[in-house]
Structure 1
Amino acid sequence: MDVPLLIARRYFSSKKKRNIISIISNISMIGVAVGTMALIIVLSVFNGLEDLVRTLYGKSDPDLLVTAVEGKSFPVNEKMLDDLRRIRGVGLLTEVIEDNALLQYHDRQMVVKMKGVSENYYTQSNIDSAIVEGDHRLRRGGEPYALLGAGVQHELSIALNNRFAPLHLLYPRNTGKKTLSLNPETAFTEKTITAGGVFLIEQHIDDSYIFVPIEFAEELLHYGDRRTALEVNVGDEHDIQKVKAVIKQHLGSKFKVLDSDEQHVSLLKAIKVEKMFVFITFAFILLIASLNIFFSLSMLVIDKRKDVAILLAMGATPRDIRRIFLLEGAIVALVGAATGLALGITICWLQQTFHIVSMGMATSVVDSYPVKMQFADIVLTGLAIVVITIAVSIRPALNAAKLDVRENL
Structure 2
Amino acid sequence: MSLSGKIAFRYLFSKKSHSAINVISMVSVSGVAIATMALVCTLSVFNGFQNLVASLFCSFDPELKVSVVEGKTFNANNEKINALRKMPEIAVFSEIVEDNALVRYKDRQVTATLMGVSDNFSKLTHIDSILYDGKFVLADSLVSYATVGAGLSLSLGVGANFVEPLEIYAPKREGKVSMANPASAFNTDYAYVTAIFSVNQAKYDESTIIVPISLARKLFQYTNEVTSIELKLKPNTDIDDVKSKIARALGPQFKVADRYEQQEEAFKMMKIEKWMTFLILCFVLMIATFNIIGSLSMLIIEKKADIATLRSLGADNQLISRIFLFEGWMISAIGAIVGIVLGLLLCVAQESFGLLRMGGNMGAFVVDTYPVKVVCTDLMTILGVVFTIGFLSAWYPVKSLKNKYLSETRQNN
> Does the alignment reach a TM-score above 0.5?
yes
Deviation, structure 1 residue 78: 7.3
Q: Match of 1:202, as an amino acid? A: N
Instruction: Describe the SS at the equivalent of 1:136.
Output: coil
- Structure 2 equivalent of residue 265 of structure 1: 264
Q: Match of 1:21, as an amino acid? A: I
Q: Match of 1:20, as an amino acid? A: A
CA distance in structure 1 between the partners assigned to 2:50 and 2:249 by the alignment:
32
Deviation, structure 1 residue 183: 3.0
TM-score, normalised relative to structure 1: 0.93
2:40 paired with 1:40: yes
Deviation, structure 1 residue 152: 0.9
Deviation, structure 1 residue 83: 2.4
- Structure 2 equivalent of residue 244 of structure 1: 243
CA distance in structure 1 between the partners assigned to 2:180 and 2:45 by the alignment:
52
* Cα pair distance change 1:180/1:80, threshold 3 Å: farther
Deviation, structure 1 residue 349: 1.0
Deviation, structure 1 residue 354: 2.1
2:138 paired with 1:134: no
Paired residues for 1:72-83 under 5 Å? 72-77=72-77, 81-83=81-83
2:362 paired with 1:358: no
CA distance in structure 1 between the partners assigned to 2:32 and 2:387 by the alignment:
11
2:352 paired with 1:348: no
- Structure 2 equivalent of residue 378 of structure 1: 379
- Structure 2 equivalent of residue 105 of structure 1: 105
* Cα pair distance change 1:142/1:248, threshold 3 Å: farther
Deviation, structure 1 residue 79: 5.8
2:191 paired with 1:193: yes
Instruction: Describe the SS at the equivalent of 2:291.
Output: helix
Contact 1:310 1:405 in 2 (8 A): no
Q: Match of 1:23, as an amino acid? A: V
- Structure 2 equivalent of residue 158 of structure 1: 158
2:307 paired with 1:308: yes
Deviation, structure 1 residue 366: 2.1
Q: Match of 1:189, as an amino acid? A: N
Deviation, structure 1 residue 326: 0.9
Q: Match of 2:322, as an amino acid? A: R
Q: Match of 2:161, as an amino acid? A: N
Paired residues for 1:146-225 under 5 Å? 146-163=146-163, 165-177=164-176, 181=179, 183-204=181-202, 205-225=204-224
- Structure 2 equivalent of residue 288 of structure 1: 287
Contact 2:149 2:197 in 1 (8 A): yes
Instruction: Describe the SS at the equivalent of 2:133.
Output: strand
5+ residue gaps, structure 2, are none
Contact 2:113 2:209 in 1 (8 A): yes
Contact 1:181 1:187 in 2 (8 A): no
CA distance in structure 1 between the partners assigned to 2:144 and 2:412 by the alignment:
94
- Structure 2 equivalent of residue 25 of structure 1: 25
2:392 paired with 1:387: no
CA distance in structure 1 between the partners assigned to 2:292 and 2:317 by the alignment:
21
CA distance in structure 1 between the partners assigned to 2:407 and 2:348 by the alignment:
49
Contact 2:159 2:196 in 1 (8 A): no
2:330 paired with 1:331: yes
Deviation, structure 1 residue 141: 5.9
Contact 2:102 2:112 in 1 (8 A): yes
CA distance in structure 2 between the partners assigned to 1:181 and 1:172 by the alignment:
14
CA distance in structure 2 between the partners assigned to 1:407 and 1:77 by the alignment:
89
More displaced stretch, 378-387 vs 75-84: 75-84
Contact 2:144 2:190 in 1 (8 A): no
* Cα pair distance change 1:184/1:366, threshold 3 Å: farther
CA distance in structure 2 between the partners assigned to 1:8 and 1:78 by the alignment:
73
Would you say how many aligned residue pairs link Structure 1 and Structure 2?
A: 407
Contact 2:15 2:22 in 1 (8 A): no
Deviation, structure 1 residue 408: 7.2
Deviation, structure 1 residue 377: 0.9
Question: Deviation digits for residues 322-355 of structure 1, max 9, x if unmatched?
Answer: 1111111112122221221111111111112222
Question: Deviation digits for residues 333-388 of structure 1, max 9, x if unmatched?
Answer: 22221221111111111112222222235442222222110111111111111111
2:399 paired with 1:405: no
Deviation, structure 1 residue 18: 5.6
- Structure 1 equivalent of residue 58 of structure 2: 58
CA distance in structure 1 between the partners assigned to 2:263 and 2:293 by the alignment:
45
2:233 paired with 1:234: yes
* Cα pair distance change 1:3/1:167, threshold 3 Å: same
Question: Deviation digits for residues 69-110 of structure 1, max 9, x if unmatched?
Answer: 111111222766542221121211101010111111111111
- Structure 1 equivalent of residue 10 of structure 2: 10
CA distance in structure 2 between the partners assigned to 1:369 and 1:92 by the alignment:
35
More displaced stretch, 89-98 vs 254-263: 254-263
CA distance in structure 2 between the partners assigned to 1:197 and 1:228 by the alignment:
24
* Cα pair distance change 1:193/1:10, threshold 3 Å: same
